[in-house]
Amino acid sequence: MGASYASPVAWPARAVVTAGMPYGNKPLHFGHIGGVFVPADAYARFLRDRIGADAVRFVSGTDCYGSPINEGFRRAVEQDGFTGTIADYVMANHERQAATLEAFNVSLDIFEGSGIGAAGEVHQQVTDAFIERLHANGWLKLDSTLQFYDVQAGTFLNGRQVQGRCPVQGCKSSQAYADECELGHQYAPADLIAPHSTLTGDVPEMRPVENWYFDLPAFAGFLRGYVDGLRDDPEVRPLVPQTIAEFLAPPVIFIKNDQREAYEALAASLPPYELREPEKGKQSFEVEFGTIDERDEARAVLAQAGIRFRTGKTLVPFRITGNIEWGVKAPVIDGVEGLTVWCWPESLWAPISFTIAVNDERGLPREAWLDFWCSDDAKVYQFIGQDNLYFYGVAQPALWQGLQPGGLFGTVDCAERPLRQTRLVANHHVLFGKAKASSSGAVKPPTGEQLLEHYTVEQLRAHFLALGLDQKSVGFSPKPFEADEAKRNDPRVSDPVLKEGALLTNVFNRLARSVLYEAAKTCGGCVPLGAPDAAAVQRTHEALAEYERLMHKVELHSVMSLMDEFIRYAQKLWADGIKDAGGDEAARAAVLRTSAYLLWACALMMHPIVPAGCELICEYLDFEPERFFGWGHGFCALDELCDADEVVAGSHAVQELPPRFDFFEKHPSQFK
């Protein structure tokens, strides 16, 4: 039957796929779903088909802690009359998130949370182990820093209860919080420009508090080597090393030119520095320091003199603990008690907690997580938004490196089996029209539930995966949410979301129906077996190979383009072949044999993208899903899916398809 298909790429023996952690203060909007969860789900589904379901862990959960949750709970109580506890508030949002993910066919192996269920208990253990190991290795420092305090409210303010303008040079964000802005820039709280309390509107005071900090600047050399490796890897999206490298710049202070005289008066009292004059047209000159401590010493001198300045992106100590009550408990170290863990560091190791929790559910030994996170033949794929690259691409690699030597739970020597650095699959923003969508911003995006009032899940999944977010930020412009009422109601204005859906509801539907109706009509409810058309087999092998290459690079929009072309090819081969065959039963059987083979290939490759419809095709073709969607075949003929007696008989019986059946339906609202 010809040469068997051979994969052009190598796949890991085991894999973890993550999809970040949505905060437990809100439902999921389309950016969460289309920008992270659906791409991650498609990849996890592909890996299950490719290397086996038991070899894949697809994990996520609600981020139960952190200042956004505290602030959301406060508003829910004060503005919406919520009467439960903060734990009740988080659980209500978690359950809504879980329902949305289920509605979008997101096939997580676990979706609990950093403080929910068995996963929450495991997460506390993992958190203790991480922090204790980092401290034992000398990478944690107890430091007294200034935190915002609202005198009128009589309380320290958590990160989201303070707002101002970002102090990082070049950033124009006016939605900046205590120590990070909406774009992920990190800075000292004292540098926040024009801070005000969201509780009272007052300008808060700065009062000292003690917390543990991870010595991130000490890993500058390691991170530079890490970035060089990412640049040399053609399968890493350029956005990843570009963004990480921005934080590896030396510590710099930017001072406006009109402050030059005041600066000169105290320049001699600053730590050693290098002065760079402003480039033509620039409004600031630069003062570069050798270390972050020297920069911070200079900041204090400049601030005391009333000189306005901004800081540049650089590595700063990474906060590990915080002082709010609602959080994962920090272990008691050196007698320091009563601290909780800042939500960002614990969310970085939460996927390990979730992996362990899944393995516990499956009755595996506790140390089985090492086979997924530490083995040379395993890989971790983390799907994230570009705003989070500082945490996943800068802080996380350094934290992982900081565990060496030693290990977690005393089960592994990290010098021999270290945590593997992850493959960061960073997407650009999904815009709502032309604006960045954010639940906390001025542009309120539609939730997942609202989208499902106008589109089917599979229409949306196909559209989200075709957006090309690995290349640039892309607008999502669903017609039912068009602000211009005239355009919204004009039947002549097409809905861009339905472009990929048309491939499903028209072309793919016709191919699947044609094969099954023809089997019932001329072949007694069977598809004939044997060798398909040789040219069709070659074309299929080429498509399978290109599909694998694109999946290996996680170019999901290119996968969609490939499948658009291949499904249309398969449908045209059917239409042209059956027309030419006319009433010749042998010729029609030959076309059916080849088209059933092509339908298998189409369903196999589309399964990660639109699983429900493809599984219906498998059901009506009457094959076992594990065999039908597996990649352990030569892909030379449909015979490879059949039992020996069927191959001898030369036919495979299929299920009877009801009249006018749709494998991929339109949404009821689209019939007008």
**In the predicted model, what is the mean pLDDT of residues 534-557?**
98
Q: Coil, helix or strand for 626?
A: helix
Per-residue DSSP letter, 666 = P
* 106 band by pLDDT with thresholds 50, 70 and 90: very high
Query: Is pLDDT of 414 > 70?
Result: no
**Beta strand residue intervals within 139-204, DSSP E:** 140-150, 155-156, 162-165, 193-197
Side-chain half-sphere exposure of 564, counting CA atoms within 13 A: 15
**In the predicted model, what is the mean pLDDT of residues 324-348?**
94
Side-chain half-sphere exposure of 325, counting CA atoms within 13 A: 4
Higher pLDDT, 71 or 440: 71
Q: Give the helix/strand (H/E) hosting 59.
A: strand 56-62
Contact indicator for 140, 320 with CB cutoff of 8 Å: yes
Residue 334 Cα distances to 75, 142, 170, 212, 557, angstroms? 37, 10, 40, 11, 51
Query: Is pLDDT of 441 > 70?
Result: no
What was the pLDDT predicted at 284? Answer: 94
Question: Which among 324, 337, 338, 339 is positioned nearest to 155, based on CA atoms?
Answer: 324
What was the pLDDT predicted at 443? Answer: 61
pTM as predicted: 0.92
Other CB atoms within a 10 A radius of the CB of residue 583 amount to 7
What was the pLDDT predicted at 148? Answer: 84
Question: What is the C-alpha separation between 330 and 342, in angstroms, rounded?
Answer: 9
* 199 band by pLDDT with thresholds 50, 70 and 90: confident
Residue 161 Cα distances to 67, 75, 388, angstroms? 7, 11, 21
In DSSP terms, 140 is beta-bridged to 214
What was the pLDDT predicted at 410? Answer: 59
What was the pLDDT predicted at 233? Answer: 95
Higher pLDDT, 410 or 18: 18
What was the pLDDT predicted at 206? Answer: 85
Q: Which residues contact 202 (CB under 8 A, 6 or more apart)?
A: 150, 151, 152, 196
Q: Which residues contact 376 (CB under 8 A, 6 or more apart)?
A: none
* 155 band by pLDDT with thresholds 50, 70 and 90: confident
Each residue's pLDDT tens digit, 614-637: 999 999 999 999 999 999 999 999
Question: Which among 560, 353, 346, 574 is positioned nearest to 470, based on CA atoms?
Answer: 560
Question: Which among 245, 253, 185, 183 is positioned nearest to 220, based on CA atoms?
Answer: 245
Contact indicator for 330, 341 with CB cutoff of 8 Å: yes
Q: Which residues contact 109 (CB under 8 A, 6 or more apart)?
A: 56, 57, 58, 59, 358
What was the pLDDT predicted at 324? Answer: 83
**In the predicted model, what is the mean pLDDT of residues 497-504?**
94
Q: For residue 373, report the phi and psi dihedrals to the nearest 5 degrees.
A: -105, -15
* 541 band by pLDDT with thresholds 50, 70 and 90: very high
What was the pLDDT predicted at 89? Answer: 96
What was the pLDDT predicted at 478? Answer: 92
Each residue's pLDDT tens digit, 599-609: 999 999 999 99
Question: Which among 104, 100, 132 is positioned nearest to 458, based on CA atoms?
Answer: 104
* 672 band by pLDDT with thresholds 50, 70 and 90: low
% of residues, the chain, pLDDT over 70: 97
**In the predicted model, what is the mean pLDDT of residues 443-470?**
92
% of residues, the chain, pLDDT over 90: 74
Amino acid in position 602: C
* 444 band by pLDDT with thresholds 50, 70 and 90: confident
Query: Is pLDDT of 535 > 90?
Result: yes
The per-residue pLDDT of the chain, averaged, comes to 92
Query: Is pLDDT of 439 > 70?
Result: no
At 60, list the tokens: 């996520």
What was the pLDDT predicted at 542? Answer: 98
| From 112-116, 235-239, 391-395, 413-417, the region with the lowest mean pLDDT | 413-417
Matching residue, tokens 């900090």: 213
What was the pLDDT predicted at 147? Answer: 83
Query: Is pLDDT of 256 > 80?
Result: yes
Each residue's pLDDT tens digit, 607-617: 999 999 999 99
Question: What is the C-alpha separation between 516 and 524, in angstroms, rounded?
Answer: 11
Query: Is pLDDT of 214 > 70?
Result: yes
Residue 177 Cα distances to 63, 99, 138, 303, 376, angstroms? 18, 30, 30, 20, 40
What was the pLDDT predicted at 316? Answer: 92
What was the pLDDT predicted at 411? Answer: 52
Pick the most confident of 290-304, 321-335, 563-577.
563-577
**In the predicted model, what is the mean pLDDT of residues 648-664?**
96
**In the predicted model, what is the mean pLDDT of residues 206-222?**
94
What was the pLDDT predicted at 94? Answer: 97
Per-residue DSSP letter, 519 = H
Each residue's pLDDT tens digit, 524-534: 999 999 999 99
**In the predicted model, what is the mean pLDDT of residues 650-672?**
93
Query: Is pLDDT of 436 > 90?
Result: no
Question: What is the C-alpha separation between 492 and 480, in angstroms, rounded?
Answer: 14
Query: Is pLDDT of 183 > 80?
Result: no
